[in-house]
Amino acid sequence: MTETGTETTDDLTENGTAEGESGLAVHLQGITKRFPGVVANDEVDLAVERGTVHALLGENGAGKTTLMNVLYGLYEPTEGRVVVDGSERSFDSPRDAIDAGIGMIHQHFMLVEPMTVAENIALGNEPRKWFGLAVDRDRIDRRINDLCDRYGFDVDPAATVSDLSVGAQQRVEILKALYRGADVLILDEPTAVLTPQEVEGLYGVLEELTAQGKTIIFITHKLGEATHAADEITVLRDGEGVGTVDPGKTTREELAEYMVGREVLMETDVEPRESGDVVLSTSDLVVEDERDVEVVSAVDLEVRAGEILGIAGVDGNGQAELVEAITGLRRPDRGAVSFDREDVTAWSRRDRIDAGMAYIPEDRHARGLVMPFDMVENGVLGSQRSEPFARSGRIDWDRVRGHSEEIIETYDVRPPNADADAVSLSGGNQQKFIVGREFERDPDLVVATHPTRGVDVGSTEFIHDRLLELRREGVAILLVSSKLEEVRSLSDRLAVIYEGEFVDVTDPDDVTEEELGLLMAGERPSEDVDRTASSDESDPPTSNPGTEPSDGGDRT
């Protein structure tokens, strides 16, 4: 029994109290990891039974990844013992951990996309022939095919990684670890970028791996996947171990409370309301990619004040290009974008920000933050030439600092240090900062792309509440998310995109999650549907593709 904040629960047990080490693949004892000004792990214990799936659950910044980086040899613990298969180990590098049978699959895959599957898997460990003069490619392929047969993977060693789906790339990462002899696999947020169908496939992979004696530790903040896939769950909060729980003897609500230290509302209550005037619309919008392939096909949509229009779809079906055309990051090849009844098709991104269009990007590293900048500098991105942060071309850094510190406090960004570089924050805390910056622009329109990707349950609840608060205030919201539960629970209307066009536009209450999954996979409804994401066909046109852009500042 472990203290959980001010409460005590009989479901949680102290980890690390097992008698002996015979059944343990990994036993971390009293692990403490300190960085300057931060205690990331504080005397954490973790005992993982051999041949099981063990979930490491906690909020963003709880210390989960740091703890696993200690096990993987990326960090040396300040205090504590690392025991693997009953022997105390000291790892100076990941190579030492790999030699000890520890493999780690990172949230952002470490693959070279132009190379083949075989080349990626064997990279740095290539068997040689002809007295070391050449790589033995046949031997590599045989080894990979043997692993695929053993663990039930369907992966072609000759395939180019860039041509594979995200789920297949994840399997390549797992194969790479198995190729190197891993008995313990650490998976960092393994479902973060997977479709629902790929998630189910991953669960099958985990079952097969553990059935053949492998041990899995996966880092997650998602309650559903922890309770579904894990044999045991260890909860971390604020760098400390709260305890270990049997998923069959607890509920999602209890786990959320262990993680956050307070009760968390698991369901979003969306009150019906009348929407206002059209704020955003597109007309016959066509976007081609760099290969001149049409990736957005004649899309019409409308988003009204006080309305959330959700777009659901598997990544790579045109939603990224559609959002880029709406937000000014990409010029459409045909059609028009209107904002507040003005044709803004030719407007720059800066013009759209100044006009009241906020944007939470899909890729927080490439689009949301400048990673070497501190949080003060990142807090003013997009507004560095506008009042109240700049006057006569000079940035008021005191005002910017105050603004950034307010975002950090309001959105619980950890560590709460405005001088920290963006690269030093966890992915979830980077996301919370971006969300806070965009929400606090006082926008008329929010284009939110995967706003809770990589964010824990407590922060997800806060972001959802803030989205609904903006909706009540009359802000128009375009929500793009691969999380079906998110778009179904928040959206007033829901559009499903497949291969660049809307295959259905519906009331979220009128479609099941299974039906949405089929639509996202290209299984079209048997009867014709309206593929125009317009809220009212009787409305007058909101844009004229043939008109020149109105005067709204500099244009690109």
Burial 121-158 (b: 16+ CB within 10 A, else e): bbeeeeeeeeeeeebebeebbebbeebbeebebebbbe
- C-alpha 213/C-alpha 150 separation (Å) is 12
Residue 545 has pLDDT above 80, yes or no: no
Structural domain harbouring 435? 366-442
Degrees (nearest 5) of the Cα angle 319, 322, 326?
A: 135
Closest CA to 466 of 494, 490, 483, 487: 490
> Would you state the pLDDT for residue 268?
65
- Same domain? 189 vs 282: no
Give the pLDDT band (50/70/90) at residue 460.
Answer: confident
Q: In the block, which residue shows the tokens 């479902």?
A: 191
For 473-487, the three-class secondary structure string (H helix, E strand, C coil) is: CCCEEEEEECCHHHH
Q: Which of 142, 176, 210 is the last residue of a domain?
A: 176
- Same domain? 218 vs 140: no
- Same domain? 167 vs 131: yes
DSSP symbols for 200-265? HHHHHHHHHHHHTT-EEEEEE--HHHHHHH-SEEEEEETTEEEEEE-GGG--HHHHHHHHHSS---
- Same domain? 207 vs 235: yes
- Same domain? 426 vs 448: no
pLDDT in tens, 67-81: 999 999 999 999 999
- C-alpha 334/C-alpha 224 separation (Å) is 42
The answer as to whether 465 is a domain residue is no
Q: Which of 206, 226, 260 is the last residue of a domain?
A: 260
- Same domain? 523 vs 448: yes
Residue 15 has pLDDT above 60, yes or no: no
Token representation of residue 465 = 């509440």
- C-alpha 138/C-alpha 134 separation (Å) is 11
Percent over 70 (pLDDT), the chain? 88
pLDDT in tens, 158-175: 999 988 888 888 889 999
Residue 304 has pLDDT above 50, yes or no: yes
Cβ neighbours for 10, distance < 8 A, ≥ 6 positions apart: 1
The answer as to whether 556 is a domain residue is no
**Least confident residue range of 19-23, 401-405, 503-507:** 19-23
| pLDDT, average across residues 188-200 | 77
The answer as to whether 361 is a domain residue is no
What's the whole-model pTM score?
0.68
The answer as to whether 245 is a domain residue is yes
The answer as to whether 236 is a domain residue is yes
Q: Which of 217, 232, 260 is the last residue of a domain?
A: 260
More confident: 421 or 524: 421
CB 403 within 8 A of CB 411: no
CB 433 within 8 A of CB 408: yes
- Same domain? 327 vs 291: yes
Give the pLDDT band (50/70/90) at residue 550.
Answer: very low
| pLDDT, average across residues 181-205 | 84
Residue 7 has pLDDT above 50, yes or no: no
Q: Which long-range contacts (CB under 8 A, 24 or more apart) does 384-391 make?
A: 385/350, 386/353, 386/354
- Same domain? 305 vs 245: no
Helices H / strands E in the chain, number of each: 16, 26
pLDDT in tens, 89-119: 999 999 999 999 999 998 778 888 899 999 9
**Least confident residue range of 9-13, 319-323, 378-382, 406-410:** 9-13
Residue 123 has pLDDT above 90, yes or no: no
The answer as to whether 46 is a domain residue is yes
- Same domain? 428 vs 516: no
> Would you state the pLDDT for residue 538?
39
- Same domain? 280 vs 142: no
The answer as to whether 143 is a domain residue is yes
- Same domain? 39 vs 142: no
Residue 4 has pLDDT above 50, yes or no: no
Closest CA to 183 of 216, 219, 223, 161: 216
Residue 300 has pLDDT above 50, yes or no: yes
Give the pLDDT band (50/70/90) at residue 546.
Answer: very low
Overall number of domains in the chain: 4
Give the pLDDT band (50/70/90) at residue 231.
Answer: very high
Closest CA to 312 of 480, 167, 473: 480
CATH of the domain at 484: 3.40.50.300
Residue 501 has pLDDT above 50, yes or no: yes
> Would you state the pLDDT for residue 555?
31
> Would you state the pLDDT for residue 2?
39
> Would you state the pLDDT for residue 151?
84
The answer as to whether 464 is a domain residue is no
**Least confident residue range of 57-61, 114-118, 448-452:** 57-61
- Same domain? 436 vs 447: no
> Would you state the pLDDT for residue 496?
92
pLDDT in tens, 479-497: 998 788 889 999 999 999 9
